[in-house]
DNA sequence: GCCTAGAATGAGACCGGACTCACACGGGTT
DNA sequence: AACCCGTGTGAGTCCGGTCTCATTCTAGGC
């Protein structure tokens, strides 16, 4: 009794029957391969039309071994960074005739491992992964072993011989920090969601290979060149994981030797930090200067407009997909490591230190 | 010569061979069905372990007829509305053991039709579609005919007997408009990206069934009740398609009888409108009041904070996925039409009309 | 007029699982 | 001793395509 007839799909066999030819001939006419007479072809095509035939991609994938699908594994699709990168990936894949399966990891390693396995089991032709920070790469090795191409996004894993696409960060972070130093900021706070398991930041903590490490390296170089000690006590990791962003911001702007400038590692952090600053009635840039990584449409519309480091996010997606498609196409050359240029956009949220303190508090 | 051995996957047959049992027994042990002795089971499992066996989901899907995958068709994943809804869909699907294939239509009907067909050919177990406005529903009928469930998101199609999840719009739009009228705004501009092929808006233009129609209905009711004529000349459709948003805003705030309040139909439009207003040095709310549909984190951080209509976007995604999963589970009850409550959040961007004109321009 | 290359065609293997069927085996009934 | 049932097992079919292989048909070459 269970259910009413689940309306079976029409198959090549059905088409063949109606067209009065063998299954093989029908398949040939439909697939456009082998030799088929015009007579048969038109009969088969007509039959397919009347029967509304659509090939079962699953069956097709199974014995061609290729699914014309790529998998994308990201940390959080809700994050504008990923959704924009996704758009780049999507547009490029589609232009190449590939569909996209999206998997969201919630920045969790176990989920990421699972995601990669699922994609492999679904026989995607390749995948783009934005690996969770501090993830090991054993699960990605399985992909490499399977012979399917992987491209890493926003992160490279030194141990893994695969292509990667990141935004150049060290140089632009150096520039951004110099900008802050030029304005007199030596107490620069940095807030990142990088998960290091709650360990406190110290100058020689190994954070692995990721954008945050690069940014901190650029920052350090600027401080070193200016001969100013890097304010390690103001560099806070685990934001939004171990620690609330609001608390972190509070801690930075209060205390005996507070930060005079705050750098937000991404737009999600920036939003929460700005909200907290507003709640605490800390004015930007009068009381504290503010800089964020990632350029979003709203950044320039705030009062004051926010100074940002703009990364070519969409282009990263495009580049990653382009490389992946090339690999799927059979390119076996050495892994490529692309670093797309980022740039500092100076707006109004960074001002000389103490610029308005006297006038404003009086 | 083509390529080096594409490292074949291990199959049940391989596992069976190593475990010295028949393929059938191995499959049973692996799949956890039928009767298998403890002896055989452990041998098979051990073999699977050493061979790193992973089942081919394609093959599995093919003869179970179910792929444990749902398809999602959205207009633009880069739009925060969709990425947040996607997150809701994603979380819910995943909890139910389903993977998600994402297809982006770029708000194009042809692409949408294609997308739906692709998903069908990939044999997804069901799909969630946010249909392009003014789309016909013939392509969705094919889905219905196939017996696979579809849930519409953000839109219902009267001709299509399927579930839908939307945000309640008429009532909240009524409230928002009353709020504007209460503040003395009778010249209210409305900017929407709804594509009507460049036709100008008139009060009796049929826009089909979609959120914009609902909003305009709520708006009209408020105007009717206040006995004020609906300013049809200020209602502009096709924003970002036929017309540039900047030009539209310019047109609204200039002219002999300009708008005193502007309503942006979504956050993307709002962002561009705000940028244009800033360029034109039109102050909010002194020169013009502003209201947008969709609540985003930055809205409350602007100066002044933006008054918005908040829709439960994430929850819409969750609800759509929940209904879909229920249908996949075999629920054959009448189509459900869910309208999740939205609410007006009054902030600082709406002020009494003419409130600061004299003081500010003097 | 005969031979052959190549087009046209059908039968059937195959991809990798899920699942049906037939059968062997052992213990409990009567 | 004959019978039954349930567990365990292997052989083999099926899903819906792709593709190989053998066969037939036809046209061109000598």
Helices (H), chain A: 12-19, 23-31, 38-51, 57-64, 80-95, 109-121, 138-146, 170-182, 211-226, 245-253, 267-279, 313-328, 357-361
pLDDT in tens, A120-156: 999 999 999 998 866 678 889 888 888 899 999 999 8
Q: Write out residues 123-162 of B within 8 Å (CB-CB) of A.
A: 123, 142, 145-147
Check residue B355 and give its pLDDT. 64
Which of B11, B298, B316 best tests the A interface by mutation, with the highest count of A CBs <10 A? B298
Q: Do strands B150-153 and B163-167 pair parallel, antiparallel, or not at all (unpaired)?
A: parallel
Band (pLDDT 50/70/90 cuts) for residue B4 is very low
CA-based Rg of chain A, rounded to a whole angstrom? 27
Check residue B147 and give its pLDDT. 87
- The alpha carbon dihedral of B220, B222, B226, B232 has a sign of negative
Residues in chain A closer than 8 A to B78 (CB atoms):
83-84, 86-87
Q: Write out residues 314-353 of A within 8 Å (CB-CB) of B.
A: 330, 332
d(CA B133, CA B155): 8
Is the per-residue pLDDT at A3 higher than 60?
Answer: no
Q: Residue B75: CB partners within 8 Å, gap ≥ 6? A: B82, B104, B105, B106, B107, B130, B132
Residues in chain A closer than 8 A to B52 (CB atoms):
142
Is the per-residue pLDDT at A344 higher than 90?
Answer: yes
Band (pLDDT 50/70/90 cuts) for residue A309 is very high
Element at A126 (helix H, strand E): strand A126-129
Instruction: Return the closest-CA partner of residue B215 out of B235, B239, B245, B199.
Output: B235
Is the per-residue pLDDT at B344 higher than 50?
Answer: yes
DSSP state of A232: G
Under DSSP, is residue A253 helix (H, G, I), strand (E, B) or coil? helix
Is the per-residue pLDDT at A66 higher than 70?
Answer: yes
Q: Residue A129: CB partners within 8 Å, gap ≥ 6? A: A72, A73, A112, A116, A140, A150, A151, A152, A153
Picking from A61, A78, A275, the nearest residue to B58 by CB comes out as A61
Check residue B286 and give its pLDDT. 94
Distance A35 CA to D19 C1' (A): 13
Which residue's structure tokens are 């090991």? A136
Element at B178 (helix H, strand E): helix B170-182
pLDDT in tens, A238-271: 998 889 999 999 999 998 899 999 999 999 999 9
Under DSSP, is residue A286 helix (H, G, I), strand (E, B) or coil? coil
Check residue B158 and give its pLDDT. 85
Check residue B78 and give its pLDDT. 85
Picking from A122, A274, A298, the nearest residue to B58 by CB comes out as A122
Q: Write out residues 254-293 of B within 8 Å (CB-CB) of A.
A: 271-272, 274-275, 278
Domains of chain B (ranges; CATH) run 12-55 (1.10.260.40), 67-167+313-331 (3.40.50.2300), 170-310+344-361 (3.40.50.2300)
d(CA B138, CA B135): 9
Element at A167 (helix H, strand E): strand A163-167
B54 neighbors B9 (Cβ within 8 angstroms): yes
CA distance B277 to chain A (A): 10
B340 neighbors B88 (Cβ within 8 angstroms): no
For residues A10-23, give the mean pLDDT: 93
Check residue B3 and give its pLDDT. 37
Is the per-residue pLDDT at A290 higher than 80?
Answer: yes
Q: Residue B354: CB partners within 8 Å, gap ≥ 6? A: B184, B260
pLDDT in tens, B205-239: 888 888 999 999 999 999 999 999 999 999 999 99
Q: Write out residues 62-121 of B within 8 Å (CB-CB) of A.
A: 62, 65, 67, 69, 76-78, 80, 83-84, 86-87, 90-91, 94, 99-104, 117-118, 120-121
CB of B55 within 8 Å of any CB in chain A?
A: yes
The nearest alpha carbon in chain B to A85 belongs to: B78
Task: Spell out which residues of B between 43 and 82 contact strand C, using CB within 7 Å.
Answer: 53, 55-56, 59-60, 62-64
Picking from A67, A84, A122, the nearest residue to B78 by CB comes out as A84
Check residue A134 and give its pLDDT. 65
């Amino acid at each position: 009794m269970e259910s009413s007839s689940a309306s079976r799909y029409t198959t090549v066999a059905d088409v063949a029957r109606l067209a009065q030819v063998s299954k093989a001939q029908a398949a040939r006419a439909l697939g456009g391969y082998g030799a088929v007479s015009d007579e048969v072809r038109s009969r088969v095509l007509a039959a397919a039309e009347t029967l509304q035939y659509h090939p079962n991609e699953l069956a097709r994938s199974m014995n061609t071994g290729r699914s014309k699908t790529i998998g994308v594994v990201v940390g959080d699709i809700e994050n504008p960074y990923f959704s924009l990168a996704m758009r780049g990936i999507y547009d490029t894949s589609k232009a190449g005739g590939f569909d996209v399966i999206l998997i969201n990891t919630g920045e969790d390693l176990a989920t990421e491992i699972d995601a990669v396995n699922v994609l492999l089991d679904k026989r995607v032709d390749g995948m783009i992964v934005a690996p969770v920070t501090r993830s090991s790469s054993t699960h990605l090795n399985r992909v490499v072993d399977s012979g399917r191409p992987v491209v890493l996004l926003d992160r490279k894993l030194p141990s893994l011989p695969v292509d990667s696409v990141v935004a150049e960060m060290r140089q632009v972070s150096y520039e951004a920090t110099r900008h802050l130093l030029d304005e007199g900021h030596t107490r620069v706070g940095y807030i990142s969601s990088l998960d290091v398991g709650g360990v406190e930041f110290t100058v020689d903590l190994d954070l692995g290979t990721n954008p945050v490490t690069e940014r901190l390296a650029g920052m350090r170089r600027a401080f070193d060149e200016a001969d100013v000690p890097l304010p390690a006590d103001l560099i806070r990791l685990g934001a939004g994981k171990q620690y609330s962003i609001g608390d972190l911001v509070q801690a930075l702007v209060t205390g005996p030797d507070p930060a005079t400038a705050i750098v937000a590692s991404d737009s999600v952090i920036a939003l929460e930090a700005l909200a907290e600053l507003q709640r605490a009635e800390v004015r930007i840039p009068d009381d504290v200067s503010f800089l964020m990584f990632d350029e979003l449409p709203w950044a320039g519309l705030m009062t004051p407009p926010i100074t940002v480091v703009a990364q070519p996010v969409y282009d990263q997606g495009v580049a990653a997909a382009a490389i992946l498609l090339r690999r799927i196409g059979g390119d076996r050359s050495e892994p490529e490591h692309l670093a797309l240029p980022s740039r500092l956009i100076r707006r109004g949220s960074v001002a000389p230190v103490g610029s308005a303190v006297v006038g404003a508090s009086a």
